Structure 1
């Protein structure tokens, strides 16, 4: 029998009601999915990489607790930025009190703020830019095409960033994913910093837009993966809302409604951690039952919504699954 660690025992004893109880129920149901042979998709919205979720998420990847990831372009790149520029980040605990003038001072210093944390432009964005451009250009010259995450995997595995590493590699979820060659879907990559930089090279005529594969190709890539891996079920663990969650969950209705593959199974589990409460027309705040009407979840799909801060909740759920 598995022995749960101190963190798991604590939440089992004290997290008994409301959002706390749902956290425990969702963690237990996640384990049931894995024990039955189901695969699990985890989606990352917001700035979870800058929040250093990689410290525990990398372990989830290494322990085979997650089998495919959907994330924003920001999360894809910001984990690597943290890896190579961590000591140059600036934390601003009093960020709520900043004046517009003080915010502009941060801009002039090359410090792009994400809530209480500033990402250093020169040490993070530009340090990656010169190396990723070489990979883009090499592929472009050869007429080769890759997905955004594949370029990032090449960057990490090439070794060119090793001289810059400022945190332990075991705390980088992108490095863990690259080593495992884990499938990743990055919808809307174009709105990330690297996506913006790539677009600027296209506008200057230095690269072809087609060198980076498109969102439609990501959807067909995900559809193929789902068909190959859904025989025992695929669960959906959503951190935050937005495109990182909406894009991949739509693959199921696309397969059986639009492609008319009638035997396509629904997602076998659903959990969302979100600070977006239920409101009018909000996808991020929609209750799971609404997804039944869109052909994403079944009547009996285990469904959980935890209305709380993902930076607090996700590590606790992952700790439970890892028996910590």
Structure 2
């Protein structure tokens, strides 16, 4: 039985039904409405190896832009170069404080059941510093993903890949030439390292990295150009800045730039374990976004309360016809 057939047979109610409905609407949006899709990644989706299914979606033209935390940006490359050195802890809920200290002292940074070796972070920094330094000295600026792509351009490093290249969503995005936006890069390992290298004088200035507002300008222009020809949807994995940042491009055009006729997001789906709370945005129901000029009332809207590491690959498989 195919994944599509399985979902259509069993996913009839509650979050299962919402998952199937979101998948059907995504597939229809791309295939029948000539839609384009922005996908946002929060949490540690790259460490969860969502890239296995995400990369295929990018290669097959089902995703047209990514907005992600800088942690997801860097962790795809960490996994690419150091997968065999990752350490999985099956009984992570039973770890004692001393167990955590022992992991720290071994240079293993834990994300739930998966520990990332610090050595790969240092290796990435060593590769990136030369690019940061040169850019700062020459008065050049680049997006965070453009620096990552330079590492992928280093052909001599391909022999050190520890996962199949088709499992890296960063490689897929580079080959497909889709934009990647990563607001709040300072909230990441390499963002911290970049700040540290500016502070110790290794890198001349912060200007080597394009700012969040520059990323917003680029995203807004990307949206407007594409929206003149086709509707654009928003598939949000998790909450946080990755989704909040990108979805604001539309109300910025409408309210701050006076472009009242620009299309609003034409499809919206979110996978989240956040519950609606007083003042909480990540768990807010999609209808709330209507008041912010992000969605139209008739926009297909879905909120799936579940684990994205389980749900997202299923939706992607459905969209791909698997």
The correspondence of residues 256-267 of structure 1 with structure 2, limited to 5 A, is 256-267=254-265
1:191 partner SS: coil
TM-score by length of 2: 0.97
Contact 2:253–2:259 (CA<8 Å) still a contact in 1? yes
Q: Is 1:93 the counterpart of 2:87 in the alignment?
A: no
Aligned pairs (5 A) from 1:47-126: 47-122=44-119, 124-126=120-122
Partner of 1:276: 274
Q: SS of the residue aligned with 1:118? A: strand
Please give the alpha-carbon distance, in whole angstroms, between the structure 1 residues aligned to 2:293 and 2:254: 9
Give the deviation of 1:32 after TM superposition.
Answer: 1.6
> Residue 169 of structure 1: which of 145, 148, 165 is its match?
165
Q: Is the 8 A contact 1:38 1:230 kept in 2?
A: no
Give the secondary-structure state (helix, strand or coil) at the position aligned to 1:119. strand
Q: Which residue of 2 aligns with 1:215?
A: 212
What TM-score do the two structures reach when normalised by structure 1?
0.97
> Aligned to 2:39, what secondary structure does the other structure show?
strand
* SS of residue matched to 2:286: coil
- Contact conserved, 1:135 with 1:155, CA < 8 A, in 2? no
CA-to-partner distance for each residue in 1:67-124, whole Å, 9 max, x for gaps? 00000000000011000000000001111111111111111100000000000001x2
Contact 1:274 1:310 in 2 (8 A): yes
Q: CA deviation at 1:212?
A: 0.5
Query: Which of 125, 128, 149 lines up with 2:145 in the alignment?
Result: 149
- Count of aligned pairs between the two proteins: 319
Q: What is the distance in 2 between the residues matched to 1:93 and 1:40?
A: 35
Q: How many angstroms apart in 2 are the aligned matches of 1:160 and 1:113? A: 30
SS of corresponding position for 1:300? coil
| Deviations 1:8-54, CA, capped at 9 Å, x for gaps | 11001110111001111101111121121111000000000000001
List aligned pairs for 1:226-245, cutoff 5 A.
226-231=223-228, 232-245=230-243
Q: CA deviation at 1:143?
A: 2.0
What's the CA shift for 1:160? Answer: 4.4
Asked whether 1:43 is paired with 2:34, we answer no
2:302 aligns with one of 301, 304, 309: 304
Q: Distance in 1 between matches of 2:28 and 2:172?
A: 24
Q: Which runs of 5+ in 1 are unaligned?
A: none
Q: Deviations over 1:188-229 (max 9, x none)?
A: 011110100000011012211001000000000001000101
Runs of 4+ in 1 over 3 A off after TM superposition: none
What is the RMSD computed on CA atoms of the aligned residues? 1.0
| Aligned counterpart in structure 2 of residue 196 of structure 1, from 192, 195, 200 | 192
